Amino acid sequence: MTYEEHVERLETGLDSEGHSRQMHQDRPIVLELIKALAPHKDGLRRWSVMRTIRKERECSSREIGQKFEDEIERTFRRYCVDPGNTKTRACAPEDALFFRPKEKAGEVWALISPPASVAK
């Protein structure tokens, strides 16, 4: 599945595996993650991702719930490919939007090959 197809499925709420309700709930956070990570091809530390999304929500007067970071991290993990970790429920590599760069120290999150139009 291409990146564009995956984002389109998120936007329309369609999913061939029957996860349309979950995708609908995840959609706003996934789009926030994409927006925060797209300009950083080498990835961004978890703390910086949270700060970026929090700042964007504050600027647009959107709610920042008490479990803000938990929701963001849970959504990231749901769409993150992590073949080395069997404890988390990572998605299949062909469906993944995010990954953790192995060559980076610390908790770095990255977007899998964003298209040029999203990175701008």
Two structure tokens written together for 1: 């599945």
For the stretch 66-111, pLDDT in tens is 999 999 999 999 888 875 554 555 577 777 899 998 888 788 999 9
pLDDT on residue 96: 85
pLDDT on residue 119: 44
For the stretch 5-38, pLDDT in tens is 666 665 554 544 555 555 667 888 999 999 999 9
Residue 80 vs residue 1, higher pLDDT? 80
DSSP the chain: --HHHHHHHHHHT--TTS-HHHHHHHHHHHHHHHHHHTT-TT-EEHHHHHHHHHHHHHHTT----TTHHHHHHHHHHHTEE-TT-SSS-PPPTTT--EE--TTSSSSEEEESS--HHHH-
